[in-house]
């Protein structure tokens, strides 16, 4: 993990110095000071770029060993219009700088805020910059045993220099807790299915008890007694025993309103079951437990920063395998709610898991709201690509809060429709419902299925994160691979609206 520190202004003898440049090539106070130290080398470098570096957001210009800075380099990072910089923009600036430096051979770097660090809110901005750098530094490489040294990330330490370093450290503490939760999510989602399966995921969750969370694990017999036939049917073809993990963070005394319930789909590997998937890209299905991974990391982040809120995180953990004992198309299962489901396609398994998990959450905890996250449908990727997650909800206030949190954190949502016309598509001739509809509106009919397990009067939102859980290309704060999408927006929404 990249080591972050905060220090007083100065010119440390590190391998690289980082400073910002505003739109139209206007130097910030820190960059201007460096320019004077280097006898105008930075301004000349900007002019020599032929207009290709103009200070636009996240542009990079590197100046190697300018006069006055022996054996050092200066990294200029475009900031765009200072008046428009949001917290998320600052994180992206930090991530852009860290992403460039980690492949540069530099082991230590310093971000110079200079005279800008005396402005109101500078400590919070510095902490956000640090968060972006730390998030970008993540790398899942534990199984790379022969990687050449020059291919490994070089950047080990990043110091941020500003006038009130102590205030920045205080602002950094809850953000560092958030980053640790994100990294834990990325770790479990990145692990192969022979390492993370229902019981080993449950073991990861039990580590949260060390942070003060209450962790309960229900096995197959427990769920049989509860009547969770929908969830258990999905995992019955696997040698791995299904689990239901409940993580409770009680940062406040219980209230009449009840806790927030956050539920995650945890299919640790999805072959599709008897309705088996094509072989191509099936290895990606190790991250079909991305929703459960987010719930795990969210509860860790809340516990680490001692959030003043009562949250229950529930993860339905199964492995969907074809075998002599596997669920068959045409089988009818009885859910914990008492509703029966005709299983038309065994590859539409996540909604079966969530149906029982949501019902258990409502029966046991009487929550004030329920949010579920799931890598549920390929259809949502057809609709929204890999840039937004789908939001389905029965409550406008909850939807608005989630949409705003997504915008603030860069984890963008798009609200999709629900309605009786879609709901009728999953009516079954043989049972109360079937687990798939026709080929049209697949992400919507999947959400309609889940909604049948939401009790009347309970605010509910479903986030279909199938297109955003794994990144094929790196972004400023998200390396290629597991993203932990959804964790940040939920943590932000909780902090804004539900903490006391």
pLDDT band at 119 (very low <50, low <70, confident <90, very high): low
pLDDT at 70: 80
- The H-assigned helical ranges of 191-272 are 198-206, 220-226, 229-235
Q: Enumerate domains of the chain plus CATH numbers.
A: 3-167 (3.40.220.10), 196-497 (3.40.630.10)
pLDDT tens, residue by residue, 366-384: 999 999 999 999 999 999 9
pLDDT in tens, 146-172: 999 888 999 999 999 999 999 999 999
- DSSP code per residue over 58-77: T-EEEEES-TTSTT-EEEEE
Give the pair of three-digit tokens for residue 471: 């990144």
Residue 121's pLDDT band (cuts 50, 70, 90): confident
Cα–Cα distance between 60 and 62 in angstroms, integer?
A: 7
**DSSP 3-state assignment of 237?**
coil
> What are the two backbone dihedrals, phi and then psi, of residue 208, each rounded to the nearest 5 degrees?
-70, -15
Place of tokens 């005709």: 342
- Spatial contact of 100 and 60, defined as CB atoms under 8 Å apart: yes
Q: Residue 457, exposed/middle/buried by CB under 10 A (0-12, 13-18, 19+)?
A: exposed
Q: For the residues 264-279, what does the mean pLDDT come to?
A: 98
If you count them, how many residues does the chain have? 500
Percent with pLDDT over 90 in the chain: 93
pLDDT of residue 116: 59
Q: Which residues are catalytic?
A: 277, 351
User: Residue 20 pLDDT more than 90?
Assistant: yes
Q: Are 71 and 65 in contact, with CB atoms under 8 Å apart?
A: yes
User: What would the pLDDT profile of 53-90 be if each residue is shown by its tens digit?
Assistant: 999 999 999 999 899 888 889 999 999 998 889 999 99
Inter-CA distances, 82 with 76, 87, 93, 254, 446, Å: 15, 12, 12, 43, 43
User: Cα–Cα distance between 30 and 153 in angstroms, integer?
Assistant: 27
**Angstrom distance (rounded) from CA 315 to CA 269:** 14
pLDDT of 100 > 90? The answer is: yes
Reported as a pLDDT band with limits 50, 70 and 90, residue 98 is very high
Scanning 279-349, the segments in alpha helix (DSSP H) are 290-304
Give tens-digit pLDDT for 301-340.
Answer: 999 999 999 999 999 999 999 999 999 999 999 999 999 9
SS3 472: coil
Q: Which tops the pLDDT comparison, 287 or 68?
A: 287
DSSP string, 367-386: -SEEEEEE---SHHHHHHTT
- Position 120 scores a pLDDT of 55
3-state SS class at 224? helix
Q: Residue 478's Cα: distance from chain center in Å?
A: 9
pTM for this predicted structure = 0.96
Residue 447: partners with Cβ closer than 8 Å, 6 or more residues away:
390, 392, 416, 418, 462, 464
């Amino acid at each position: 993990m990249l080591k972050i520190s905060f220090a007083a202004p100065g010119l440390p003898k590190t391998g690289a110095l980082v400073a910002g440049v505003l739109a139209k090539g206007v130097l910030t106070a820190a960059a201007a000071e460096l320019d004077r130290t280097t006898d105008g080398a930075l301004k000349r470098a900007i002019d020599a770029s032929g207009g290709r570096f103009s200070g636009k957001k996240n542009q990079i210009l590197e100046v190697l060993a300018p006069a006055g800075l022996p054996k050092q380099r200066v990294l200029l990072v475009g900031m765009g219009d200072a008046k428009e910089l949001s917290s998320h923009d600052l994180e992206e600036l930090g991530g852009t700088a860290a992403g460039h430096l980690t492949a540069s051979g530099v082991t230590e770097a310093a971000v110079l805020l200079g005279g800008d660090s005396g402005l109101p809110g500078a400590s919070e901005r510095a902490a956000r910059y640090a968060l972006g750098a730390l998030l970008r530094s993540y790398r899942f490489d534990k199984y790379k045993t022969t990687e050449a040294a020059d291919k490994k990330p070089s950047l080990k330490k990043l110091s941020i220099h500003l006038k009130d370093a102590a205030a920045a450290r205080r602002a950094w503490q809850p953000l560092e807790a958030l980053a640790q939760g994100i990294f834990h999510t990325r770790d479990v989602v990145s692990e192969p299915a022979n390492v993370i399966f229902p019981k080993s995921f449950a073991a990861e969750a039990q580590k949260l008890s060390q942070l003060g969370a209450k962790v309960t694990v229900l096995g197959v017999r427990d769920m049989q007694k509860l009547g969770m036939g929908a969830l258990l049917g999905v995992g019955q073809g696997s040698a791995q025993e299904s689990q239901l993990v409940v993580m409770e963070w009680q940062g406040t005394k219980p209230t009449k309103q009840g806790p927030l319930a956050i539920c995650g789909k945890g299919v640790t590997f999805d072959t599709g079951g008897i309705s088996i998937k094509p072989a191509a890209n099936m290895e990606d299905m190790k991250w079909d437990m991305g929703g459960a991974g987010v719930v795990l990391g969210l509860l860790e982040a809340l516990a680490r920063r001692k959030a003043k809120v009562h949250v229950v995180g529930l993860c339905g953990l199964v492995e969907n395998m074809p075998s002599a004992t596997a669920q068959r198309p045409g089988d009818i299962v009885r859910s914990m709610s008492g509703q029966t489901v005709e299983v038309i396609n065994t590859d539409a398994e996540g909604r079966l898991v969530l149906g029982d998990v949501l019902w258990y959450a409502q029966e046991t905890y009487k929550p004030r709201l329920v949010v579920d996250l799931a890598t549920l449908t390929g259809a949502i990727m057809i609709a929204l690509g890999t840039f937004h997650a789908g939001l389905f909800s029965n409550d406008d206030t909850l939807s608005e809060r989630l949409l705003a949190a997504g915008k603030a954190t860069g984890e963008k949502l798009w609200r999709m429709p629900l309605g009786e016309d879609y709901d009728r598509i999953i009516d079954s001739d043989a049972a109360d419902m079937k687990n798939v509809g026709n080929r049209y509106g697949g992400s919507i009919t999947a959400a309609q299925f889940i909604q049948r397990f939401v009790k009347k009067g309970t605010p509910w939102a479903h986030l279909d994160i199938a297109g955003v859980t794994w990144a094929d290309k790196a972004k400023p704060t998200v390396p290629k691979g597991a993203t932990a999408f959804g964790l940040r927006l939920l943590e932000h929404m909780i902090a804004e609206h539900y903490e006391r």
